[in-house]
Amino acid sequence: MAPSTSVTEHTYRCLSCLDGTRDRDFNVSHVSATCGACESFARFVNETVLDRFRAFEESPPAALDWERLDRSEKFLVCDQVVRSNRSIEDFAVSD
Ligand SMILES: [Zn+2]
């Protein structure tokens, strides 16, 4: 591996069209940028967070009432699980 590629690239995906991507050399939950695919100024979400989000949509975690969360809350939970290594049980909701 060449030394010049030592910076880790993180991929962010456009939430408007889910087609456009941006690569950044830092790891945050999301970035805002103009999308090359749909040309809107959109929120780009960290692809690892988006993968987790999709997995939970397919198979909602038993620990919390996933369907009751709105989309931004879902992304927040996914972000914490993926990037902070928190357990989904930490988000258990009780009435
Ligand atoms: Zn887009």
Q: Is residue 4 part of a domain?
A: no
- Domain-located, residue 36: yes
- The reply to whether 19 falls in a domain is yes
Q: Which amino acid is at 80?
A: Q
- Measure 93 CA to ligand 1 centroid, in angstroms: 33
Q: Is residue 77 part of a domain?
A: yes
Beta pairing partners, 23: 11
pLDDT at 50: 96
Phi first, then psi: what are they for 14, rounded to 5°?
-60, 125
Please tell me whether the overall predicted TM-score, pTM, comes out greater than 0.85 for this model.
no
Sequence letter at residue 88? I
Instruction: Determine, yes or no, domain membership for 93.
Output: no
**Residue 14 C-alpha to ligand 1 middle, in angstroms?**
5
β-bridge mates for residue 34, sequence order:
41
Residue 94 lies in a domain: no
As for how many domains the chain has, the answer is 1
Residue 68 within a domain = yes
Q: What's the mean pLDDT in 49-61?
A: 95
Residue from 35, 71, 30 nearest 47 by CA:
30
CA distance 18 to 15: 5
CA 92 to ligand 1 center in whole angstroms:
33
Domain range enclosing 32: 10-86
Q: Dig out the tokens for 26 from the structure.
A: 């830092």
The rounded Å distance from CA 16 to ligand 1 centre is 5
| Residue 79 belongs to a domain | yes
